Structure 1
Amino acid sequence: MNQLVKAFTKSILAGDVHALLELYSSSIDSKIDNFTFYEKIIKPSMYRIGELWEKNQITVADEHLATATLKYLLATIFTHQEALENQPKALLFCIEGEHHSLGLELANEVFKEKQWNTRYLGANVPVKDALTFISAWKPHAIGISIGMTTELTRLKECIEEIRAHHQETDILVGGRLVSHYSLDFLEKSKVTSFYDLLELNEYLNDMSNGLVSLKG
């Protein structure tokens, strides 16, 4: 698996979509399902690229090319039927100040695999804009991604604002920060945190069962 991650990372940095598609196809042929591919191949590659950038071993341009290449790959290989209006709804966004959104894009794919109707707002979303969308669209779940400790205060404020207006809506938090730290305040606010996409997948299995009446 480590060799596949290395090859995947190298191809992303080279912007070689053809090589990436071949790696994906060979993985699926080897009976690796999409969730394992997200978690064991794509996510470690993303982290590796972030580490290279932090150590100045790649340039900003290299990182931008890698990001654009991976987004194109996701759009190419993960296609879904248009969501129906009576399916459960999920709103996903990165809090204001958080600019790394690829992990949340993968989470969005997990929701769609489970036939959720999703709205993905992307990176750096102000709380007031998120609240406006929540009030208008009324999602059953809100997914928030955070990767930097510098944005913890803003995450707390964001959750408090959502809870003040939408007490019963499920709030889910994931991202690199959640994978490395125990954020006790999330439990107090009745927020579910996720270490990885496999945990999210399991949670959505249970959650979707509880919302099955929406589809009837």
Structure 2
Amino acid sequence: MLELHASAIESKMDHLSFYEKVVKPSMYRIGEMWEKNQITVADEHLATATLKYLLSYLMNEHKAGKNQPKALLFCIEGEQHSLGLELANEIFKEHKWNTRFLGANVPINDAVTFIEAWQPQMVGISIGMTTELGRLKTCIESIRKVNEKINIVVGGRLVAQYKLDFLEKEQVMTFNDLDELNSHLTDLSKQSVSLES
């Protein structure tokens, strides 16, 4: 992957394109192989850990100021795969957001407690398994009870593959990929600048 990243830099590929065109297909392929029993759980964990290690080596630190907007990111309880959300976290950082990444399999009550204490402007939730749809709905309802106006964004493999019609569009935004998230954050930055002018 380091060689791929080096060649991506030479070809003027930005971080977002590298994530979408190299890392994401690799993650999806690993997941597909695991689902078809072509690799073991140990193989899947090793491949994911290797990708995480390489990404930590490649990613730049993006420092956010104290007055920057805050985003809390986590995987819904039961969701063990957090690599895609880690990439989303990097996109937020590139846009100078102050982020907290809670990782995989976060219980709903713990996420809500963190939201109440930290008061982020946005919550990002990742979901990849259809079995967790009921839990996603419960999670969103629980967040809304403590903060009706907080922006909630949902992404992950499930969002890219299915229409989640039960999510009310004015309450929750869904993103199929990192390009869509990046565009949304770019638009928010432009709106913020125009409001300050």
Q: What range is the shorter-chain TM-score in? A: over 0.9
Q: Which residue type is aligned with residue 77 of structure 1?
A: L
Please tell me whether residue 133 in structure 1 is matched to residue 125 in structure 2. no
**SS class of match (1:186):** coil
**SS class of match (2:174):** strand
Q: Could you say what the CA RMSD is over the residues aligned between the two structures, in angstroms?
A: 1.8
Q: Counterpart in 2 of 1:21?
A: 2
Could you list the runs of 5+ residues in structure 2 that have no partner in the other structure? none
Go from structure 1 to structure 2 and tell me whether the alpha carbon gap of 1:50 and 1:215 turns closer, same or farther (over 3 Å shift). Answer: farther
Please tell me whether residue 79 in structure 1 is matched to residue 60 in structure 2. yes
Q: Counterpart in 1 of 2:100?
A: 119
Specify which structure has the higher proportion of helix: 1
Asked whether the 8 Å contact 2:30–2:44 carries over to 1, the reply is: yes
Taking structure 2 as the reference length, what is the TM-score of the superposition? Answer: 0.94
Please tell me whether residue 169 in structure 1 is matched to residue 150 in structure 2. yes
Q: CA deviation at 1:92?
A: 0.1
Asked whether the 8 Å contact 1:53–1:59 carries over to 2, the reply is: yes
More displaced stretch, 179-188 vs 140-149: 179-188
Asked whether the 8 Å contact 1:103–1:175 carries over to 2, the reply is: yes
Q: CA deviation at 1:173?
A: 0.3
Match of 1:152 among 121, 125, 133: 133
Q: CA deviation at 1:100?
A: 0.9
Match of 1:190 among 154, 168, 171: 171
Q: Counterpart in 2 of 1:5?
A: none
Q: Counterpart in 2 of 1:40?
A: 21
Residues 78-117 of structure 1 mapped to structure 2, 5 A cutoff: 78-117=59-98
**SS class of match (1:123):** strand
Using the alignment, how far apart are the partners of 1:95 and 1:189 within structure 2? Answer: 21
Q: CA deviation at 1:79?
A: 1.7
Q: Give per-residue Cα distances to partners, 1:29-88, cap 9 Å, x unaligned.
A: 111111111111111110001111112211222111111111111111112143221111
Q: Which residue type is aligned with residue 44 of structure 1?
A: P
Q: CA deviation at 1:191?
A: 0.2
**SS class of match (2:100):** strand
| Count of residue correspondences | 197
Identity of aligned residues (%): 68
Taking structure 1 as the reference length, what is the TM-score of the superposition? Answer: 0.86
Q: Counterpart in 1 of 2:40?
A: 59
Asked whether the 8 Å contact 2:63–2:93 carries over to 1, the reply is: no
Using the alignment, how far apart are the partners of 2:53 and 2:194 within structure 1? Answer: 35
**SS class of match (2:187):** helix
Q: Give per-residue Cα distances to partners, 1:102-161, cap 9 Å, x unaligned.
A: 111111111111111100000010111001110111101100000011000000000001
Using the alignment, how far apart are the partners of 2:55 and 2:13 within structure 1? Answer: 16
Could you list the runs of 5+ residues in structure 1 that have no partner in the other structure? 1-19
Q: Counterpart in 2 of 1:3?
A: none
Asked whether the 8 Å contact 1:92–1:118 carries over to 2, the reply is: yes
